[in-house]
Amino acid sequence: MKLKVNKYLKTGLICFITIVIGIIGFFLFREVRYPQVEEKKSALYNYSQKADVNYRVFFSPNILYNSDNLGEGNIYISEYANLVKTHFNYEFKGDAAAELKGSYEVLAVVEGYFSDEEKNITVWKKEFTVLPKTNFAAADNKISIVKDIPVNLRQYNDFANNVIKDSKVNSQVKLSVLMNINLDASTEKGPIKETLSPGIIIPLNTKYFEIQKSQTGEKPGKIEATQKVPLPVDRMTVVVYSISLGVLLLALIYLAFFTITVEKSPLIKALEKIFKKHGSRLVALNSEITSGTPNLFKVKSIDDLVRAADEIGKPIIYRYSTNIREINRFYVFDDSITFIFDVKDMSYQSEKTDRSSKLFDGVYNNPEQQQWGNASLDKRE
């Protein structure tokens, strides 16, 4: 036995299920045909740079220190400090031999600045070349640069004091002694380009100072290759999509072949039209309706009954039922006359312009008719 379904509901469900099947089918096809990929990086060539700066501070003859120098990590009195001997050490080391070339130089930079919370604002700067640019080259997996550089503190202190006096800008001053290293390497796995500037920073124009190191330590690096690796198909996702498609296809087949469409009967359509148009004029009774008047007049349409109700100033009543199919008649009562409209006698057209009143031929037939006002009436003796 086929299930009866409203025509519009069936059409809507078929369209909706078809669209959902298309969407899920697309995602299933994409999951199987175009799996997701993951980017993985692999190191083709590993290398490291190691830089360090060692120093010792030498003093002019004084009454304080027993030795003429102090090593790293101390506080030094500017009046006694005369010379800082630095020892720069740089090393590059790779996995395999490469064409290594580049240059290095040592600069002394005197800089006047102001401290502003988290950063320093440079007011003036002066560079001095301590060691001119020197080129290097090697065909090996490593290269090292070792240089001893003396730094004359008094010379740079005097320069800073002269700038302050001449410019009348009493700023903080520091001396940076840097080895600027530029490296270009050609390996079988690709080129390498690195720059590094290890050094020390010395405060000038102060009563005492500490020395800080910058850009020292080991810095690893590598040449990488990025590969896109396809991920395995998510089996759970495929199963969920497949089950969903199966269920929806079965539902679509059932709707298409095991259901029949039904439309509202002309009687239901007529009643719905009456309640929509004249609902505010109708009075529902829970009890049975009986007429005690001798004259019963049957009108041809609901509009005729409305005109009759308006003419005599009476309400339109009907017997209420939860089942709309059981509401067949509407009444208007006067003292001696009862007007009746029977829905089964109503003439109306179907959506295909065929007159559906043929469905009710023989259901109710009254041979006698009278005219009342503008309405056509059937009178039952």
Q: What is the rounded CA–CA span in Å between residue 193 and residue 349?
A: 89
Q: What is the rounded CA–CA span in Å between residue 194 and residue 340?
A: 104
Task: List, as one string, the DSSP characters of 272-315.
Answer: HHHHHHHGGGEEEESSPP----SEEEEESSHHHHHHHHHHHT--
Q: For residue 217, which of 87, 91, 52, 55 has the smallest C-alpha distance?
A: 52
- Whether the predicted pLDDT of 373 surpasses 50: no
**The model's pTM:** 0.55
Amino acid, single-letter form, for residue 214: S
Q: What is the rounded CA–CA span in Å between residue 381 and residue 379?
A: 6
* 38-73 pLDDT tens trace: 888 888 999 999 999 999 999 999 999 889 999 999
Residue 89, SS3 per DSSP: strand
* Between residues 319 and 269, the one the model is more confident about: 319
Q: For residue 281, which of 302, 262, 301, 265 has the smallest C-alpha distance?
A: 302
Residue 184, CB half-sphere, CA atoms under 13 Å: how many? 6
Pairing label, strands 369-372, 316-319: unpaired
Q: For residue 329, which of 284, 295, 369, 370 has the smallest C-alpha distance?
A: 284
Residue 258 pLDDT grade (very low, low, confident, very high; cuts 50, 70, 90): confident
- Position 32 scores a pLDDT of 85
Residue 2, CB half-sphere, CA atoms under 13 Å: how many? 13
Summarize the confidence of residues 133-143 as an average pLDDT. 93
Summarize the confidence of residues 62-91 as an average pLDDT. 94
- Whether the predicted pLDDT of 257 surpasses 60: yes
